Amino acid sequence: MYGGIEAGGTKIMCAAGTGPSDLHAQISFPTTTPTETIERIIAFFQQQRALPLVAIGIGSFGPIALHPHASNYGSITSTPKPGWANVDIVGPIGRALGVPVGFDTDTNAAALAEGRWGAAQDLTTFLYLTVGTGIGGGGVSNNQLIHGLLHPEMGHIRLPHDLQADPFPGVCPYHGDCLEGLASGPALLARWGAPGETLPSDHPAWALQAHYLALACVNFICTLSPERIILGGGVMNQSQLFPLIQREVQVLLGGYIQASVLLQQIDTYIVPPRLGKQAGMLGALVLAEQAASDPA
């Protein structure tokens, strides 16, 4: 039995189980202060002690410190979320529950889950992008999560921005008009004066939104050569975005990359997640499984 925690910036989801068809207990609650939030997480798993937990996995909002030898390993680092910068999340949970803890970003966790049970089964190289309060990406290359210096921060790539067509300066406090600055939920709200979910499906917001997400997909395709791109998160509940993005990716690529799935079946290439809002939490179970088999 594994414990999985998706630590999102607004909500925590916890579950005990081994996968989507074997979940023994679940809870979700708002992300408040670090102390209160971590206490609630620990209390939930302590209540499950009838089930022998062998490991915990945490998929967290970021940026996070991932290098096992770093002095701040297991912490959330430079988040603008009040109170959460430089908070150790792995340490207190691991000590309280006495089991190994796997740790990664929420989007890398979601990518893992979609690879195991969802929209990227049997693929070796793919990416998962969540478009919501922020924009974050996780990815798998040759069956392994993309790490390296740190972890991907795909929401912060820079894109062409035609200031005449779209004078909106972007909302990213670090970069202004990076992808997240132009196309996150808060960017939609700030640009159009209303939350995205209140705009009609034929509102011009969506063509512009699809344009930026298509540019982002093109850059990810040229850099990572993924076999599929999964677009999730609250903004992608606007399902009219998918055909707009798919078509524009084809136009932007201009036939240069000769892969039949891009040229002829792009509706199977840029797809919604299959695991919906549970992807991050289910991916945390996979992180727990990995921690159990390699507790170092």
Note the residues at the interface with its own copies (CB under 8 A): 63, 77-78, 124-126, 137, 139, 141-142, 144-161, 174-175, 215, 218-227, 252-259, 261-262
Backbone angles phi, psi at 66, to 5 degrees: -110, -15
Closer to its own copies by CB, 4 or 139: give it: 139
Closer to its own copies by CB, 48 or 79: give it: 79
Closer to its own copies by CB, 3 or 181: give it: 181
**Angstrom distance (rounded) from CA 285 to CA 153:** 22
Closer to its own copies by CB, 21 or 258: give it: 258
Smallest separation, CB 196 to its own copies (Å)? 23
Pick from 80, 24, 90: which is nearest to 53 by CA?
A: 24
Smallest separation, CB 72 to its own copies (Å)? 9
Tokens of 252: 């932007």
DSSP codes, 192-237: HSS-GGGS-TTSHHHHHHHHHHHHHHHHHHHHH--S-EEEESGGGG
Smallest separation, CB 32 to its own copies (Å)? 24
How distant is the alpha carbon of residue 124 from its chain centre? Answer: 18
Smallest separation, CB 157 to its own copies (Å)? 4
How crowded is residue 276: how many other Cβ atoms within 10 Å of its Cβ? 11
Pick from 156, 145, 107: which is nearest to 9 by CA?
A: 107
Give the SS3 label for residue 41.
helix
Smallest separation, CB 172 to its own copies (Å)? 9
Closer to its own copies by CB, 53 or 145: give it: 145
**Angstrom distance (rounded) from CA 37 to CA 126:** 32
Q: How far is CA 225 from CA 78, 86, 88, 218, 255, in A?
A: 29, 34, 34, 10, 15
**Angstrom distance (rounded) from CA 31 to CA 40:** 10
Close Cβ partners of 136 (under 8 Å, ≥ 6 residues apart): 61, 62, 105, 106, 107, 129, 130, 152, 153, 154, 155
Smallest separation, CB 194 to its own copies (Å)? 27
Closer to its own copies by CB, 111 or 218: give it: 218
Closer to its own copies by CB, 125 or 238: give it: 125
Smallest separation, CB 50 to its own copies (Å)? 38
Smallest separation, CB 99 to its own copies (Å)? 26
Q: Vertex 187, ends 185 and 190: CA angle to 5°?
A: 115
